[in-house]
Structures are given as C-alpha cells and as structure tokens.
C-alpha cells in the first residue's frame, strides 16, 4: 500500500494552505507514535482485564461489593 498520509500546513498570516506528503522522517515519527499508542492501549486493556479478574475472584470468595470497594 502506498503512503497515503498527507500533511496540511496552514499559514495564518498569508492564508495559504499547503498539502504535501509526509517526509521520510515525519513518516517514521508517525509510525513510532502509532506503535507507542498501540502498546499503551494494550497495556491499559491488560490492566483493566486483570482488575476485572481480581474483582471476580474476590466476589467468588464471598466478599460483598462494599467490602471489595473498600479495598
């Protein structure tokens, strides 16, 4: 798939809008940001899944919602 990302630059003083393709460096930066955000989202999901699992285990042990909330 070809690079379809475009960068829009707007000069507020002149009112000129320029649309261009990302430079190689900008494309690498963009890909790194996407990768980092994907990793952060995966970590956040894993943390939420672990919390849900822990709460379910506490409930199985017979703790009430109030007791679990107080932890």
What is the per-residue pLDDT across 21-69, written as a single tens digit (0 to 9) for each? Answer: 999 999 999 999 999 999 999 999 999 999 999 999 999 999 988 998 8
- Consecutive H or E run containing 56: helix 24-60
Q: Which residue is listed with tokens 């109030």?
A: 66
45 SS3 class: helix
Which residues make beta-bridge pairs with 19?
8
- Here the tokens at position 57 are 């285990």
Q: Tell whether 22 is covered by a domain.
A: yes
Q: Tell whether 38 is covered by a domain.
A: yes
Q: Tell whether 45 is covered by a domain.
A: yes
Q: Tell whether 16 is covered by a domain.
A: yes
Q: Tell whether 28 is covered by a domain.
A: yes
Q: Which domain holds residue 16?
A: 6-70
Q: Tell whether 1 is covered by a domain.
A: no
- Here the tokens at position 1 are 């798939």
Per-residue pLDDT band at 19 (split at 50, 70, 90): very high
- Here the tokens at position 67 are 């007791």
Q: Is 15 left (phi over 0), alpha (psi -120 to 50) or beta?
A: left
pTM here is: 0.64
**Number of compact structural domains in the chain:** 1
Q: Tell whether 49 is covered by a domain.
A: yes
Q: Tell whether 24 is covered by a domain.
A: yes
């Amino acid at each position: 798939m070809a690079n379809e990302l475009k960068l829009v630059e707007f000069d507020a003083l002149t009112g000129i809008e320029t649309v261009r393709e990302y430079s190689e460096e900008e494309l690498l930066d963009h890909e790194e940001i996407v990768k980092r955000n994907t990793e952060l989202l995966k970590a956040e999901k894993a943390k939420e899944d672990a919390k849900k699992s822990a709460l379910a285990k506490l409930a199985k042990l017979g703790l009430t919602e109030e007791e679990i909330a107080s932890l």
